[in-house]
Amino acid sequence: MRIGEMVRRTGVSERLLRYYEEQGLLAPARLPSGYRVYSDADVDTVRRIRTLLAAGLSTTTIAQVLPCVRDDGPNLAPVCSELVAQLRRERERITHTIEDLQASQGMLDAVIAAGPADAAPAGRQPISQG
C-alpha cells in the first residue's frame, strides 16, 4: 500500500511515518520511482510504535525495544529476556519524572492558595506583559 493508504489505516500522518523511517523504526519497501510501499506488517509496527510512545518511551528506546516485543492480544509482550530489565529501568525513570511533576504541582498549589481568595479561576486572568 502507498503512504496515503497507510495514513488512513493507522491514523498517523505522512510526516510521522517519514519520521519513524528516519529513526529506523519503520522500513517500507521502495518502488524504483522512490515511492514507499507499506505492508500489513508495517501497519502492526506502527501500532506497536504508538503503544510504546504512549507508554512514555523515546524513539531511541523504541528502536531497541521494537524487535523484542510481540502482540499478545491488545497488549505487547516481551520476547527478549533482557528487555524486561530495560523496561523496568524506563518505568523507574518515568516514576521519577512523575514525582518531580507532582512536587512542581504542589508548589504551584501552595502559591495559588496563598493568593487572594477572590482571584479569577485559573486560565481566566490575563498575564501582565510588563
Eight-state DSSP code of residue 88 = H
Q: CA separation (Å) from 108 to 104, 111, 113?
A: 6, 5, 8
Q: What single letter denotes the amino acid at residue 30?
A: R
Enter the pTM of the model: 0.70
Give the residue, 45 or 121, on which the prediction is more confident: 45
| Helix locations, the chain, DSSP H | 3-10, 14-22, 40-54, 59-65, 81-114
* Cα separation of the two ends of the chain: 55
pLDDT value for 111: 94
39-95 tens-digit pLDDT: 999 999 999 999 999 988 899 989 988 988 888 888 888 888 888 888 899 899 999
Give the residue, 110 or 70, on which the prediction is more confident: 110
24-33 tens-digit pLDDT: 999 999 999 9
